[in-house]
């Protein structure tokens, strides 16, 4: 049955569909992931887990530096702590997008319904990634505040951030680029999971594990053996964390930001090509509505 | 001693402060060697009854016995002599093969290796699963999964088997295979084997069941052999009427007819012979109209009411194309007891 | 009758453990992931200790902690959340229909899981030892074996208890497992010594002792790396034994009560309630 009077004009219809899909993805992601009405879920994912991760890194720092007898090195603590806090962005977002296939395909069985709409999957994933970024921002803010209070008060390790010196435009730009890079990485993981089954539970964890090791989160990438150090240097997450550290310290962050921009653009080319190929490949392989069972 | 006996069995669920009476004083007695078909709409209480009898759920009041053993107090003994197969469920672990899944469940009943091996091979053969013996379950089609599920139900050679909509979602061949197998299984040892089968398919109930119980809002409203149930309608007349109309509200004509004096039941003839709508069935399946053509099945207490009925239809703007007298079917029985609503019960 | 019950339940234990062992062979990518992923994190912490100039035994602490982490993950996901997952797939119904004891099913899950995880844990230990300059100093291997067995028993006792409790919480089971993951790394000292270290407040160490992993890792580190003997880990042995004595009967009671409550309210066989 034709419904007249509601069809968008052909000009701009494509763009309008993309924007609507992104917004729909953000809305759905917000509803699904940030279950604000359930304080338990909110506390678990947005507060307890991220804070525990940050405090864990901080305690390793305290115990390791105390065992080495090097005393409290505030500059190193700043490096490690800020690395751990802002690593929440790529960790949360890649996990969220990698699991999205399993969630939509097997748990809610909604992937097939999304796939058969005229919209491409990519704007939907971008929308979901943005919802995840909003959640991650809450976790980052809470971890930064609570973590710095704990380490400053209980372990005499104040976080050397001078609010006057912080380069706010660079900080905001770095975070936006970091979020974009995390969404693009998430799209690649989504694409892999869309055509495979074996990695749907582990791919996210492999990725966060590799990023944690190679992105200079808690130690500089220069300590890694070759070629791991080279890979670390090419990852946008490495430059994202460096740019954030520099912006917060009020240092010149633009070199790191330039690297971040370049690596994000490269990632964009790879991830969009991946998704483009995979959307039709999944249809050919019949993996859009198939469930893995163990 | 009956294979299954319930005495004033009731079950109340409390959902968000609401009390729902799922079973309301159920009294049934199933003799050994019988297959009892339990018919009822979604939410009528069929599955609740099966769950209580299979020790998965406690009754709120009343009692139930399997071969004389209380399902609450002697649950462990009862579990050894019963089994349950539900339609549309996953029968085990996807990464295990058909044979391994059956072996796993055989061990939960403590079968010795020799007996387990023998029975598994027999069931694989009986269920036509030979070529899938060493295939992992997640690779099986729905039909073969359900065959495996049925094989699992027979693994302990139960005295009482509960089949909860076992042919749900199965194609005609698989469903037929399953019906034939359960009938043969009971007939092979009528002294010891009993089945309680819940189903939405009246033809299925008529084909395999010795007795039929109709459950409506937690109560058994009819309990007899299929023949006796149909005979119970001998005081009435069953007719099928074909109408042409431009009216779109089919429900109103059903209500109008149902409310007339002498009408026992009235329903739209569905496109398939099912008692109720599936979850996704929508109204389309129940609307027997094609381009204004409406087919109704009406039960009257007396054939003298037919001319009055036809007059009423004509006066209401319908063109009566045909009036045909039918033999009562199980569907008429169901409609007579459950009424013409045919909808899910809340 | 008693013999018959025992045989029935032993068969059930074996059959349920068999599913676990088959999983190890049938889905090798699970094991690869469970060995590789902890190695990635533990490598990062080894580099961090190196950056801080910590003594070499700290690297060994991390490798041993990372190896023991496999058990905690298995207890959380392979035990605690597993039963809930089996409810979702409908398999739990089949277990509940059978006359075998529910405890036998849980024991089977635990036995299979413990055996699988021991292999994975040893793999992590071996690869970690090959990758980093880690040195061990074992004086009393028997004590090491005893502590290891006590730790695994207590951990799986906790897993059995959680499995029952998770059924109560229905849909939130995975959230609870998730909540218990990272914070436990923090308190149990996966990457640093907790009990023999004064850095964490006393109250935190006391609470951490409820988790068998805390005592277990600490004792294993003392015996495997620090060259200590039985005399040095008596507190750990007492602690672990007490946990076993408390956790396993609690698991049994919780399972009974859970089944009873669920049967009363119709929860066990309802999905996504």
What interface predicted TM-score (ipTM) does this complex get?
0.89
Facing residue for B108 by CB, picked from C12, C23, C264: C12
Average pLDDT over residues B136-163: 92
Cβ distance of C97 and B82 shorter than 8 Å: yes
Cβ distance of C264 and B58 shorter than 8 Å: yes
Residue A1 falls within a domain, yes or no? no
Query: Which ranges of chain A have pLDDT less than 50?
Result: 1-11
pLDDT of B121 higher than 80:
yes
Highest mean pLDDT among B232-241, C157-166, C204-213: C157-166
| pLDDT band at residue C81 under the 50/70/90 scheme | confident
pLDDT attached to residue B281: 34
Residue A75 falls within a domain, yes or no? yes
Report whether B84 contacts C97 (CB < 8 A): yes
- The CA-atom distances, in angstroms, between C91 and each of B86, C87, C88, C148 are 12, 6, 8, 32
Average pLDDT over residues B278-300: 57
Residue identified by tokens 């704990």 is: A150
Chain C residue closest to B103 (CA)?
A: C15
Name the β-bridge partners of A84: none
Cβ distance of A76 and C51 shorter than 8 Å: yes
Q: What is the pLDDT of residues B38-58, one digit of tens each?
A: 998 888 899 999 999 999 899
Domains contained in chain A, number: 1
Residue A129 falls within a domain, yes or no? yes
Residue A138 falls within a domain, yes or no? yes
Residues 6+ positions from B204 with CB-CB distance below 8 Å:
B37, B167, B175, B179, B197
Chain C residue closest to A46 (CA)?
A: C179
pLDDT attached to residue B20: 87
pLDDT of B233 higher than 80:
no
pLDDT attached to residue B343: 46
Residue A213 falls within a domain, yes or no? yes
Q: Which residues of A touch B137 (CB under 8 A)?
A: 293
Query: What distance in Å separates residue A210's CA from the closest CA in chain C?
Result: 6
Cβ distance of C94 and B93 shorter than 8 Å: no
pLDDT attached to residue C249: 93
Average pLDDT over residues C40-44: 95
Query: What distance in Å separates residue C85's CA from the closest CA in chain B?
Result: 12
| pLDDT band at residue B277 under the 50/70/90 scheme | very low
Cβ distance of A294 and B138 shorter than 8 Å: yes
Q: Is the dihedral of CA A165, A149, C65, C36 positive or negative?
A: negative
Sheet with B82-86: list strands edge to edge: B82-86, B160-164, B194-199, B35-39, B211-216, B219-224
Q: Which of A35, A40, A64, A203 to mutate to test the interface with C (most CBs of C within 10 A)?
A: A64
Q: Which of B89, B138, B279 to mutate to test the interface with A (most CBs of A within 10 A)?
A: B138
Quick check: A61 contacting C, CB < 8 Å? yes
Residue A5 falls within a domain, yes or no? no
Hey, where are the domains in chain C? Answer: 2-265
Among B249, B259, B343, residue whose Cα is nearest residue B298: B259
Q: Which of residues 114-153 of C touch A (CB under 8 A)?
A: none
Quick check: A294 contacting B, CB < 8 Å? yes
Of all residues in chain B, what percent are helix, strand and coil, respectively (each to 5)?
A: 35, 30, 35
Among A162, A172, A174, residue whose Cα is nearest residue A250: A162
pLDDT attached to residue B207: 87
Quick check: A293 contacting B, CB < 8 Å? yes
Quick check: A103 contacting C, CB < 8 Å? no
Q: Cα–Cα distance between B38 and B198 in angstroms, integer?
A: 5
Highest mean pLDDT among A147-151, B273-277, C170-174: A147-151
Chain B residue closest to A290 (CA)?
A: B138
pLDDT of B274 higher than 50:
no
Residue A123 falls within a domain, yes or no? yes
Report whether A129 contacts A97 (CB < 8 A): yes
Q: Which residues of B touch A293 (CB under 8 A)?
A: 90, 94-95, 137-138
C195 vs A93, more confident = A93
pLDDT of B346 higher than 50:
no
DSSP string, B60-122: SEEEEEETTEETTTTHHHHHHHEEEEETT---S-TTSBHHHHHHHHHHHTT--HHHHHHHHHH
| pLDDT band at residue B278 under the 50/70/90 scheme | very low
Residue A234 CB-density burial (10 A; 0-12 exposed, 13-18 middle, 19+ buried): middle
Q: Which of A44, A151, A214 to mutate to test the interface with C (most CBs of C within 10 A)?
A: A44
Quick check: A4 contacting B, CB < 8 Å? no
Name the β-bridge partners of B243: B294, B320
Q: What is the pLDDT of residues C109-122, one digit of tens each?
A: 999 999 989 999 99
Quick check: A113 contacting B, CB < 8 Å? no
Residue identified by tokens 């009435």 is: B236
Residue A275 falls within a domain, yes or no? yes
B247 vs B191, more confident = B191
Q: Which of A106, A109, A290, A294 to mutate to test the interface with B (most CBs of B within 10 A)?
A: A294
Highest mean pLDDT among A3-17, C15-29, C143-157, C209-223: C143-157
pLDDT attached to residue B210: 93
Chain C residue closest to A40 (CA)?
A: C175
Residue identified by tokens 């292999």 is: C119
Q: Cα–Cα distance between A260 and A238 in angstroms, integer?
A: 8
C162 vs B16, more confident = C162
Among C216, C222, C231, residue whose Cα is nearest residue C138: C222
- The whole-chain average pLDDT of chain B stands at 84
Q: Which chains have at least 3 CB atom pairs separated by less than 8 Å from chain B?
A: A, C
Facing residue for C15 by CB, picked from B56, B58, B107: B107
Containing structural domain, residue A132: 21-285
pLDDT attached to residue A40: 73
Q: Which residues of A touch C49 (CB under 8 A)?
A: 60, 64
The phi and psi torsions of C269 (rounded to 5 degrees) equal -110, 10
Cβ distance of A209 and C40 shorter than 8 Å: yes
Report whether B204 contacts B188 (CB < 8 A): no
Q: Which residues of A touch C58 (CB under 8 A)?
A: 64, 67
Chain C residue closest to B161 (CA)?
A: C97
pLDDT of C32 higher than 70:
yes
Average pLDDT over residues B72-81: 93
Alpha helices (H) in C74-211, listed in sequence order = 81-89, 91-97, 102-131, 141-168, 173-188, 202-208
Q: Which residues of C touch A56 (CB under 8 A)?
A: 182, 185-186, 191
pLDDT attached to residue C169: 67
Q: What is the pLDDT of residues B83-94, one digit of tens each?
A: 999 887 888 888
Quick check: A75 contacting C, CB < 8 Å? no
Quick check: A39 contacting C, CB < 8 Å? no
pLDDT attached to residue B286: 39
- The CA-atom distances, in angstroms, between C27 and each of A289, C22, C24 are 22, 8, 6
pLDDT attached to residue A55: 93
Enter the tokens of residue C182. 């990272």
């Amino acid at each position: 049955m034709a419904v007249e009077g509601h069809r968008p004009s052909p000009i701009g219809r494509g763009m309008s569909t993309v924007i609507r899909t992104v917004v729909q993805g953000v809305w759905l992601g917000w509803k699904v992931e940030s279950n604000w009405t359930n304080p338990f879920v909110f506390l678990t994912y947005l507060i307890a887990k991220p804070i525990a991760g940050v405090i864990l890194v901080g305690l390793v720092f305290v115990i390791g530096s105390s065992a080495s007898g090097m005393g409290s090195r505030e500059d190193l603590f700043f490096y490690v702590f800020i690395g751990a806090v802002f690593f929440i962005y790529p960790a949360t977002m890649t996990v969220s997008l990698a699991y999205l296939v399993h969630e939509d395909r097997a748990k809610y069985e909604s992937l097939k319904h999304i796939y058969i709409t005229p919209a491409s999957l990519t704007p939907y994933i971008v929308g979901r990634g943005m919802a995840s970024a909003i959640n991650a921002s809450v976790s980052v803010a809470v971890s930064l505040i609570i973590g710095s209070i704990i380490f400053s008060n209980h372990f005499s390790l104040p976080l050397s951030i001078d609010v006057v010196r912080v380069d706010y435009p660079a900080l905001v730009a770095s975070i936006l680029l970091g979020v974009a890079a995390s969404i693009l990485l998430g799209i690649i993981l989504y694409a892999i999971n869309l055509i495979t089954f074996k990695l749907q539970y582990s791919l996210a964890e492999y990725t966060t594990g590799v990023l944690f090791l190679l992105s200079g989160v808690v130690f500089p990438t220069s300590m890694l053996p070759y070629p791991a150090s080279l890979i670390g240097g090419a990852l946008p997450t490495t430059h994202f964390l460096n740019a954030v550290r520099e912006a917060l310290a009020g240092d010149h962050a633009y070199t790191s930001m330039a690297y971040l921009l370049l690596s994000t653009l490269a990632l964009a080319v790879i991830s969009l090509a991946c998704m483009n190929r995979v959307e039709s490949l999944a249809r050919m392989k019949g993996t859009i509505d198939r469930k893995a069972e163990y | 001693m009956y294979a299954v006996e319930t005495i004033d069995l009731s079950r109340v669920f409390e959902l968000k402060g609401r009390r729902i009476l799922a079973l309301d004083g159920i009294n049934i007695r199933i003799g050994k060697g019988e297959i009892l078909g339990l018919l009822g709409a979604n939410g009528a209480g069929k599955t609740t009854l099966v769950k209580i009898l299979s020790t998965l759920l406690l009754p709120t009041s009343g009692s139930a016995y399997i071969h004389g053993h209380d399902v609450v107090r002697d649950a462990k003994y009862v579990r050894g002599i019963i089994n349950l197969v539900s339609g549309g469920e996953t029968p085990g672990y996807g990464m295990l093969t058909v044979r391994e899944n059956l072996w796993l469940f055989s061990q939960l009943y403590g079968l010795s290796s020799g007996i387990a091996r023998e029975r598994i091979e027999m069931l694989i053969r009986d269920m036509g699963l030979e070529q899938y013996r060493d295939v992992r379950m997640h690779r099986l089609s729905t039909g073969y999964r359900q065959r495996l599920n049925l094989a699992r139900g027979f693994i302990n050679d139960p005295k009482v088997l509960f089949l909860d909509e076992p042919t749900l979602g199965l194609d005609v061949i698989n469903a037929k295979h399953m019906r034939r197998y359960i009938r043969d299984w009971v007939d092979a040892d009528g002294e010891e084997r009993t089945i309680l089968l819940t189903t939405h398919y009246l033809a299925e109930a008529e084909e395999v069941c010795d007795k039929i119980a109709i459950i409506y809002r937690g109560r058994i409203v009819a309990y007899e052999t299929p023949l006796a149930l149909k005979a119970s309608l001998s005081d009435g007349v069953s007719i099928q009427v074909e109408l042409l109309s431009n009216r779109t509200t089919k429900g109103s004509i059903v209500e109008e007819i149902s409310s007339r004096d002498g009408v026992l039941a009235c329903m739209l003839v569905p496109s398939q012979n099912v008692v109720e709508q599936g979850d996704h069935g929508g109204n389309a399946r129940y609307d027997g109209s094609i381009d204004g053509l409406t087919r109704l099945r009406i039960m009257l207490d007396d054939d003298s009411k037919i001319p009055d009925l036809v007059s009423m239809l004509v006066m209401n703007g319908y063109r009566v194309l045909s009036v045909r007298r039918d033999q009562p079917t199980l569907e008429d029985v169901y409609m007579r007891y459950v009424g013409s609503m045919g909808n899910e019960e809340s | 009758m008693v013999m018959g019950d025992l045989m029935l339940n032993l068969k059930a234990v074996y059959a349920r453990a068999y599913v676990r062992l088959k999983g190890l062979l049938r889905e090798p990518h699970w094991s690869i992931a469970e060995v590789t992923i902890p190695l990635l994190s533990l490598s990062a912490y080894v580099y961090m200790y190196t950056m801080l100039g910590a003594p070499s035994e700290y690297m060994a602490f991390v490798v041993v902690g990372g190896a023991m982490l496999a058990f905690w993950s298995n207890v959380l996901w392979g035990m605690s959340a597993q039963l809930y997952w089996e409810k979702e797939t409908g398999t739990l119904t089949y277990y509940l229909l059978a006359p075998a004891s529910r405890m036998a099913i849980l024991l089977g899950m635990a036995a299979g899981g413990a055996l699988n995880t021991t292999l994975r844990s040893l793999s992590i230990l071996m690869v970690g030892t090959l990758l980093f300059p880690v040195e061990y100093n074992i004086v009393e291997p028997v004590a090491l074996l005893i502590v290891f067995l006590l730790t695994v028993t207590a951990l799986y006792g906790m897993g059995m208890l959680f499995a029952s409790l998770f059924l109560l919480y229905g849909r939130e089971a995975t959230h609870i497992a998730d909540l218990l993951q990272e914070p436990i790394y923090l308190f149990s000292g996966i990457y640093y010594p907790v009990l023999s270290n004064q850095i964490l407040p006393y109250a935190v160490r006391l609470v951490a002792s409820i988790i068998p992993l805390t005592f277990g890792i600490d004792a294993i580190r003392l015996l495997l790396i620090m060259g200590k003997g039985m005399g040095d880990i008596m507190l750990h042995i007492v602690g672990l034994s007490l946990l076993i004595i408390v956790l396993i009967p609690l698991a049994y009671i919780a399972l009974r009560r859970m089944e009873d409550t669920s049967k009363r309210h119709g929860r066990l066989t309802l999905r996504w309630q």
